[in-house]
Homo-oligomer: A and B are copies of this chain.
Amino acid sequence: MNKRFGPPSVLLAIAAGAMLGTLLRYSINAAAFDSIFPFGTLMENWSGSALLGALTGFFAIFTVREWISAGLGVGLCGGYTTFSTLVSDTVLLGSALSPLYIAAYILPTIVGGIAFAWAGFAGGQRLGRKLRSSEEGRRL
């Protein structure tokens, strides 16, 4: 976790990533077939968790400039996924205390999100190691 405020390039990259990610989320929700069950938000939170996991795993092996990692992680993945909609939907649908809704939406979102982030992290690390070893191979 980076605990200092980044330079302008980082802030610009975060802003651009946030715009792209949020408009992508909005487009998916607009295109999602009408249903009381928020499939769109579920898909966004799952795929965004996989992507952030993969990026984190990759950048743990392959160091990139801060504006690239912050723009893709904090900006793109942060804007693309949403927590407020996840919990507000449960209130909006008047089912905040419904065990069925929690079992069918909240719980799979969380458990799936962790699993996708974990799988993404492992995949990202593997890709990073592969690219690094092929780079080292070229140097020999």
Binding site for B on A (CB under 8 A): 1-6, 11, 14-15, 17-19, 21-23, 25-27, 29-32, 34, 38, 45, 48-49, 51-53, 56, 70, 74-75, 77-88, 90-92, 96, 106, 109-110, 113-114, 116-118, 121
Contacts and interface: CB of A to CB of B under 8 A. Distances in A.
B110 A91 contact: no
**Identical chains in the assembly:** 2
A83 B83 CA distance: 5
13 contacts: A3-B29, A4-B30, A5-B31, A6-B30, A18-B23, A18-B79, A22-B22, A22-B74, A22-B79, A53-B88, A56-B92, A90-B114, A110-B110
Given A45-B84, A49-B87, A83-B83, 8 more contacts: A2-B29, A11-B26, A26-B70, A84-B117, A86-B113, A87-B116, A88-B117, A110-B110
Main secondary structure of the interface of A (DSSP, over half): helix
Given A38-B1, A53-B88, A113-B87, A11 B30 contact: no
B92 A114 contact: no
B88 A52 contact: yes
